Amino acid sequence: SCRAGLADYKLGKEEFQFPKFIHQFIGTVLLRIERASKQSKAMSTLSVPPVLTSPRDDAIQLYRAFKGLGCDTAAVVNILSHRDVTQRSLIQHEYKTMYSEDLLKRLKSELSGKLETAVLLWMLDLAERDATVIKQAFLSGVTNLFAATEVICSRTPSQIQLIKQNYHSKFGVLLEQDIAVLTSGDHKELLLAYLSTHRHEGPEVDREMALKDAKTLFKAGEKKLGTDEKKFVRIFSERSRAQLAAISPAYHDMYGGSLKKAVKSETSGEFEHGLLTILKCSQNPAKYFAKVFSFFYP
């Protein structure tokens, strides 16, 4: 199997170790996200122009990387980290056709540890990958509810529908059922509302509604003794990204403060994390994910 040296990451007071090839793998993905962020300030998905490659050539190079003692990890990472979801699917098809072998099974046998996990997740399409990450987060304990929350609250309504379908198909249970059991309080109410509420995905904005929502949030938060969390859940789960993005400047113009800071001061824990993820992704999802990756990959 492929082995690599270790390099240290630090997050707060906790220390994490990752194989050095994950640096290259994550770094390449991060570069793709940063490029997407520069291309647009209002993107609903992350996309960059695909590299023109031959799936057949990629399959041959991967097969060569697997031959001999161990495998050429650098070659595997260099190929797969530079391919988009369509290209990766074509590579899998070509590999199966040429070598009568499933590429995912071969990768699983050749790789190990965190690199294996990262690459196998990368090979899945987005909805299946998201469903898998959410399930793994649920199985890993309460501290990883932040990961599940981030995936759910950063996706568009159409993406969420695909995640729900993949989750049920792959794990035999509705995503909403797991959330109802494994989460609680305002956090649970936010996730269930965000999963079930229909939201428009277009760029249209109702300025009058944005002003009204800003006023509602101010009264439910900073103006109130305590916080009316239900008002936050309703607005953050019902408004489109474009509409929610319009609330932030309206809030600032009316009250001189930041809606993001208001969320931070009035809420906490996974509930706060979910609200902030929704808010930031309404403004620029590519920039948000670039910052998330940068946090783990300075």
pLDDT tens-digit readout, 96-112: 999 999 999 999 999 98
Average pLDDT value for residue range 10-25: 40
Q: Is the pLDDT of residue 10 over 60?
A: no
Instruction: Let me know whether 92 and 34 are in one domain.
Output: yes
Task: Please report whether residue 289 resides in a domain.
Answer: no
Instruction: Let me know whether 15 and 66 are in one domain.
Output: yes
Task: Please report whether residue 33 resides in a domain.
Answer: yes
**Boundary of a domain, candidates 85, 103, 123:** 123
Task: Please report whether residue 296 resides in a domain.
Answer: no
**Boundary of a domain, candidates 89, 123, 157:** 123
Q: Is the pLDDT of residue 31 over 50?
A: yes
How confident is the model at residue 215, as a pLDDT?
A: 98
Domain that holds residue 268: 125-283
pLDDT tens-digit readout, 171-230: 999 999 999 999 999 999 999 999 999 999 999 999 999 999 999 999 999 998 889 999
Task: Please report whether residue 288 resides in a domain.
Answer: no
Q: Token pair of 90, please?
A: 């074509």
Q: Is the pLDDT of residue 26 over 80?
A: no
Rounded CA gap, 70 and 60, in Å? Answer: 17
3-state SS assignment for residue 233: helix
Min mean pLDDT across 25-29, 162-166, 210-214 is at 25-29
CB 296 within 8 A of CB 11: yes
Q: What share of the chain in percent tops pLDDT 90? A: 63
pLDDT-derived band at 46, boundaries 50, 70, 90: very low
Instruction: Let me know whether 190 and 145 are in one domain.
Output: yes
How confident is the model at residue 29, as a pLDDT?
A: 54
Task: Please report whether residue 292 resides in a domain.
Answer: no
Element (H, E) at 174: none
Task: Please report whether residue 188 resides in a domain.
Answer: yes
C-alpha torsion sign, points 187, 191, 197, 199: positive
**Boundary of a domain, candidates 55, 88, 123:** 123
Q: What is the domain-level CATH number for residue 203? A: 1.10.220.10
CB 284 within 8 A of CB 45: no
pLDDT-derived band at 12, boundaries 50, 70, 90: very low
Whole-model pTM? Answer: 0.78
Q: Is the pLDDT of residue 119 over 60?
A: yes
Instruction: Let me know whether 151 and 86 are in one domain.
Output: no
Q: Is the pLDDT of residue 9 over 70?
A: no
Give 254 or 294, the one with higher predicted confidence: 254
Give residues with Cβ within 8 angstroms of 39, minimum separation 6. 48, 286
Instruction: Let me know whether 34 and 96 are in one domain.
Output: yes
How confident is the model at residue 28, as a pLDDT?
A: 55
Rounded CA gap, 69 and 88, in Å? Answer: 25
Q: Is the pLDDT of residue 161 over 60?
A: yes
Number of domains in the chain: 2
Give residues with Cβ within 8 angstroms of 15, minimum separation 6. 8, 9
pLDDT tens-digit readout, 258-289: 999 999 999 999 999 999 999 999 998 878 87
Instruction: Let me know whether 148 and 261 are in one domain.
Output: yes
Instruction: Let me know whether 132 and 58 are in one domain.
Output: no
